[in-house]
Structure 1
């Protein structure tokens, strides 16, 4: 007979890890429930953006489940989680920094290439309208589009972050692009 959910809450981390190695979903759920808030707090301290912190925590726990058969925790499980989330945060911050640098470089290049103040003002207006339209997209389409076009993530990486299939990511991005194209149809020289 399998123990009930409350019994798992009384097990030590080491006992739960042993059960987890045998694909025990309730052991995983007990570890997840025990540590999710603490790991999220660590991620929020560094990232300051709740959705990014949630992504980092989900990635850590998804990786634990994926590697459950060969997972080795040498010290304590909380220490393992702290290191795992630290590396996820570093990766997320690197992607965010890359996106920021990329956006700044585009703006610098456009600044140099604009031949007149009027063109620059037209561009700034278009850029503002584009940002407003992107912000109004449905949540999944907006997130997928931003992670792809601003964050530089591939569809497979976005699918992992959003916990959906790659096809769902492709559809979301296609919907976002179609919506943008329809909204900015009169700016045909840009599309």
Structure 2
């Protein structure tokens, strides 16, 4: 039978015509799909989808004398859809990997920030008691020198001296901590 007769029988639901078309074109379509995809399993899936489409939509098959050309076109379109789908999958996978990398970086940053704050608090707690109290009220409590002096019943001059001495003690230690933190963030 020629292709035109096979299509006519196929449209009427003739399973024998379908089997003949499958037998006649499966091999060459498989080779064609494999050459385009480079993956034998994917090529088999494309050809299987093509023949499923052929049976399911047999009423919609256009009149053609070139069944091979029609089938090649269906396979080509399915390959293009497959490639486009793979591009979308790849884009989402890359996006997900980037999200995970960013999330890990953020988590790492937050952990290091917490460790740095703990080290700074440790250095502040090592100050003499009155100096520490004045420094904490100034830097963490955001109180003015006058407000601290009033609160602790000491002179503004004493407050200034405590803060000056605390900064003189802490500055070299903080600089070292910041340098170490920067170096750790580089790696």
CA positional deviation for 1:68: 1.4
Q: 2:39 aligns with which of 32, 43, 49?
A: 49
Correspondence for 1:60: 50
1:110-142 Cα deviation digits (max 9, x unpaired): 11111339x9xxxxxxxxxxxxxxxxxxxxxxx
Deviates more, 1:108-117 or 1:30-39: 108-117
Matches of 2:108 and 2:52, distance apart in 1: 51
- Where does structure 1 differ by over 6 angstroms across 4 or more consecutive aligned residues? none
Q: 1:82 aligns with which of 50, 69, 72?
A: 72
Structure ID, larger Rg: 2
CA positional deviation for 1:88: 0.3
Correspondence for 1:94: 84
Correspondence for 1:142: none
Q: Which has the higher helix share?
A: 2
CA positional deviation for 1:94: 1.1
Correspondence for 2:141: none
Residues 73 and 80 in structure 1, CA contact (< 8 A), matched pair in contact too: no
Gaps of 5+ in 1: 1-10, 120-191
Q: CA 1:73 to 1:47, structure 2 compared with 1: closer, same or farther past 3 Å?
A: farther
Correspondence for 2:108: 116
Cα RMSD for the two superposed structures: 1.8
Residues 4 and 65 in structure 2, CA contact (< 8 A), matched pair in contact too: no
Q: 1:27 aligns with which of 13, 17, 20?
A: 17
CA positional deviation for 1:15: 1.4
Correspondence for 1:160: none
CA positional deviation for 1:16: 1.1
Matches of 2:88 and 2:17, distance apart in 1: 38
CA positional deviation for 1:100: 1.1
Gaps of 5+ in 2: 112-187
CA positional deviation for 1:75: 4.5
Matches of 1:68 and 1:112, distance apart in 2: 50
* Helix, strand or coil at the partner of 1:69: helix
With the length of structure 2 as denominator, give the TM-score of the two structures.
Answer: 0.54
CA positional deviation for 1:73: 3.6
